Structure formats: C-alpha cells, structure tokens
Structure 1
Amino acid sequence: MKPRIHPVSRPVVFRDRAGGAAFLTRSTADSDQRVEWEDGNTYPVIDVEISSASHPFYTGRGRVVDTAGRVERFERRYGKRENPTD
C-alpha cells in the first residue's frame, strides 16, 4: 500500500432512526455529533434512515411479488411457445 493516500478509518456509531438500533463499526466517515457507547468511550455518531434492523428484506416484513400469476396471464394472452428451445 502506498503511504499517505488512504483515508483514516476510525470507530463510528451508526444509529438507525427508523428501528432504534445502533451499532459500532469502523468507517472513514466522520461526524460532529458524539455519543457515549456501552464501553464508556465517546464516538462520532451518524444517523441513517434505514439499516438491516429496520429494512423489510432483513426483518421478513417484505411483500412477495406474484410472478407466477404474471407468467400465466402472459401465456393466456399470447399462448405458449411450441418449441421452447428455439
């Protein structure tokens, strides 16, 4: 690695505003806001709108799209192919 070209990586707290969760990780991002973490140290905090704690894909609250109904409707409308390998 070349010296003096990489950004500084530091511990940062990311706080999910929607889910109320917070996690400590390393990042090159910095913030003027600070928060005291569970270990007693103070870290920069970055508020995010959504994270894995509140995203529907990770929480299981997402919708399932009915693709089978779309395929059947397409086949009724335009017919099935005679030879699907063509």
Structure 2
Amino acid sequence: MKKGLHPQNYRYVVFKDMSNGHSFLSRSTAATKETVKWEDGNEYPLIKLEISNTSHPFFTGKNIMVDTAGRIDKFKKKYAKK
C-alpha cells in the first residue's frame, strides 16, 4: 500500500442519533467541536447523526417519518400552489 494515503488521526468518537437518542462509541477521523461524557467516565468528541441503523426503516422494519428541521414543511411551503 502507498504510504501517507490513509489518515493517521483515528480516535474514539461518540455518534448520537438525534432522531431517537441512541449513542454508540466508534473510531473516526471526523472533526467536531462538541464533546460528551461517555458511560466509561471519559469525555469524547460528539458527532450528531440524523439517522442511524437504530432509526432507519430498512433496519427497524418500521416505516416512520423523520422530519428534521421541518424539511417537509419547507418543501410544501416552497412548492404550494398559490
């Protein structure tokens, strides 16, 4: 493999699904300014997700409507017939 191709700054990061509150700890190079205290007592960077495997209809088998930041309302307002 080529040297210097892959990032070297992998670290533990908490990912939080904002639609249902589920959090999990993994490794990532994603940059973030927020931190959160994890179950082990340590503080880790926090990455907020709109959807994850715990809320995605394909994985849950449930067809739920996730409306983050009023996207549906914005769409309807923008394209409403006048």
Which amino acid in the other structure matches residue 6 of structure 2?
H
Deviating 4+ runs (over 2 angstroms):
1-6
Matches within 5 A, 1:1-86: 4-7=4-7, 8-62=9-63
Equivalenced residues, count: 63
Deviations 1:32-64 (A, max 9, x none): 1000000000000010100001001111114xx
5+ residue gaps, structure 1: 63-86
5+ residue gaps, structure 2: 64-82
TM-score by length of 1: 0.65
TM-score by length of 2: 0.68
Structure number with larger C-alpha Rg: 1
2:16, 2:39 → 1: CA distance?
A: 14
Q: Percent identity?
A: 55
1:39, 1:12 → 2: CA distance?
A: 13
What is the RMSD computed on CA atoms of the aligned residues? 1.7
Contact 1:12/1:30 (<8 A) preserved: no
